[in-house]
Amino acid sequence: GLTLGLMSLDETNLTILINSGTPEQRKYASLILPIRKNGHLLLVTLLLTNTLINESLPIFLDSVFGGGYIAIFVSTGLILVFGEVIPQSICARHGLRIGAFFAWPVRVLIYATYIITYPIAKGLDWLLGEHHGYMYRRAELKELVAIHEATKGGSLTTDEVTIIKGALDLSEKSANHAMTDLKHVFMLNIDSILDTFVLSDIVRAGHSRIPVFENERTNIIGVLLAKSLIMVDPNAFTPVRDVKIYKILSVTHDTSLFDLLNTFQEGACHMTVVTENIDGQSVATGVVTLEDVIEELIQEEIIDETDVYSDVVTRTKVTRALNLAGIKRISKSRMNSTGATPGSVGKDTETTPLKQQDKRLLAVQDRLRQLGSATPDPCTRRTKLFTTPKEEADPLKFTRFTSFQNAKERQHLRPFAEADREDDSGSDHSPIAGSL
């Protein structure tokens, strides 16, 4: 029984118990581990002493019962019941505790039989190799975690099992597995002008980092941070090349996602270009962000307020998107005057379908084009586009712009501060003003 109890505890199990077991398990495992490290020596010692006892018992009983079949039957019964069945049944269930209890007696036996057992143990090491615990393969670890899921009687939740499996698979997945194809990437030409319409496109895209290319989309030269455009004046027509463009990383398509995650952790950039060798040249085929790697880790898509597609590969659109084309910001006083409730405002802005958002933006742009030829006030140099009653004035003033002067030339865009008050009583309220 002691042979079964001690040999069933390999170094891997004992090390796990020492590092993460209960105080009692740590105590027992620390007593067993020193004698368990040399498994063949322990095995030979236990088998040798067991054989000596089994062979000595019939001789002793022969002198007691005077020989014959009685001594054989009695010795066989005693060995079977008290030497095999009971010890192995107990040690199979409580092997750790019993093994720790007999740890020091076993050490004495090892030293007492060392001259005989050591050569045999070394011969087994040479023939079979040393064994220092079983190490699980990656696939075995995944299945070991899976059978500990709560639905199968374990203590791990489904999300925990999924994340652990994703972490084990991360080093086997390459960059092209998580990348977004270049044809689906929102990019800016370095020669683009940051005017109202380009900035509107950036807002609608909702990306925090935007790749910048020169001449061709495959020639990505850097990445533009959307938050760096907060202070950009659309009236200044600032070229993209005049804004700070950060260096973007580049990796080959077979780079593992674990290596890519370590690269992102260094803080150089959270976006990288995936390249592939085509006809001896390195050609950009897509981009990978830190969010893409995290999605592969947790095995789920991360949907934020601005995502248009839940899966870029299958082009599956999200069912709920934030209306960035024209977010309604309504003050408490305006809600009281119009009868709107706070809950209805949030619901309207979050559940508006994406197609309706696009239609609203197009309607606003058409309205701006119609009013683009309005005559500027020679005194204030401002164009009166909309009028808003004083009692419905929004405290958060939006900037409104004129559109085109003609089909080929843009009119210099000027921010709208506030409509003149002298014509408020006779002017019609534009339905588009409220949507802005």
Task: Decide: residue 99, CB within 10 A, 0-12 exposed, 13-18 middle, 19+ buried.
Answer: buried
Q: What is the mean pLDDT of the chain?
A: 73
What is the layout of strands, in order, in the sheet containing 281-289?
180-181, 281-289, 271-278, 249-252
At 222, which helix (H) or strand (E)? strand 216-225
| Gap between the Cα atoms of 125 and 251, Å rounded | 46
pLDDT given at position 68: 67
Q: Is 130 helix (H, G, I), strand (E, B) or coil?
A: coil
Over residues 306-335, the pLDDT tens digits come to: 666 666 556 666 665 444 444 344 333 333
Whether the per-residue pLDDT at 381 is higher than 80: the answer is no
Whether the per-residue pLDDT at 409 is higher than 50: the answer is no
DSSP state of 376: P
| Gap between the Cα atoms of 121 and 41, Å rounded | 5
Residue where the block lists tokens 């059978």: 147
pTM: 0.58
| Gap between the Cα atoms of 433 and 393, Å rounded | 11
Contacts of 110 (CB under 8 A, 6+ apart): 35, 41, 42, 45, 117
Q: Which two tokens stand for residue 223?
A: 């990445």
pLDDT given at position 38: 85
Beta bridge partners of 223: 211, 246
| Gap between the Cα atoms of 289 and 276, Å rounded | 17
Where does CATH 3.10.580.10 sit in the chain?
175-317
Over residues 69-128, the pLDDT tens digits come to: 777 787 788 888 887 888 888 888 888 888 888 889 999 999 999 999 999 989 988 888
More confident residue, 280 or 346: 280
More confident residue, 309 or 195: 195
Give the architecture (CATH level 2) of 175-317: Roll (3.10)
| Gap between the Cα atoms of 41 and 116, Å rounded | 10
Radius of gyration of the chain from its Cα atoms, rounded to whole angstroms = 38
